[in-house]
Structure 1
Amino acid sequence: MIPNTKISHTILEFGKSIILQLPDDYSKEEFEAAISIVIVVWNALVMDAWNETDKFERELMERLEEGPKQAKIEVRRLIKRKKAKFSTDLRAVGNYWVKEQDGEYIFGCEARGNVENFPAEKTKH
């Protein structure tokens, strides 16, 4: 099933635990760093689902092995959240951006799909 929500909205909802940890006066660079972590985790799990493996999740956790303990905890929480609440959303994030407008940061991104596995029934051609 193809989700009917914008991927940018879904990513913000998925990553809200990370985003809410930003300081009140966070900069554009801090927001971009946080959202990039969220997207890396999301895309790793989506690509694993596409390929019916856990390769990207394992590689992600291996790369964090030398990092701060808190980073590993946060990434594990995101992984658990993706699997529990967003498991049926198999869109990957392609290009993404953060723009500043009227003192607010606007996030946008493009969805990418594994076209080989998208359902074609009830599609008008």
Structure 2
Amino acid sequence: MKQRVIGFMVADENKTADISSWGGICLTYTSDASFRVYLVSELGDESDHNTKPHAWFAALLDPESPMTKCVQWHDFTVLKNGSSDIERYGDEDAKKAKVILIKFEGSSGEQKNFNIKSLGTYDERLLGRS
């Protein structure tokens, strides 16, 4: 499995930032691959990404037409040992955030296209906007 990771720092180096007032994020994108967005409060290696609250973003049926998806911090979750039970929500991590990571996965040699048009604070008026 090949991974591509893009990160956006939300705090100065060796510090955290309280971004809970954002309410969550809105991401406008085009993509022919699904991906996860992680809320990272403690830096580690890539093997511990599943211990970070994350939200899933679907590949688009028409990957040329942008879509906006808005996700509240409470909808960022960590599941218990691969089950469907929620271990924790992203609300607490938003109070001590370092990075917002976008992680794409695919088979080695597989080419996928994505374009991040904008990343902003949560705004329910943008839900599902193309």
Flag whether TM exceeds 0.5 (same fold).
Answer: no
Higher gyration radius (CA): 1
Higher RCO, 1 vs 2 (CA within 8 Å, ≥6 residues apart)? 2
Q: TM-score, normalised by structure 2?
A: 0.26
**TM-score normalized by the length of structure 1:** 0.27
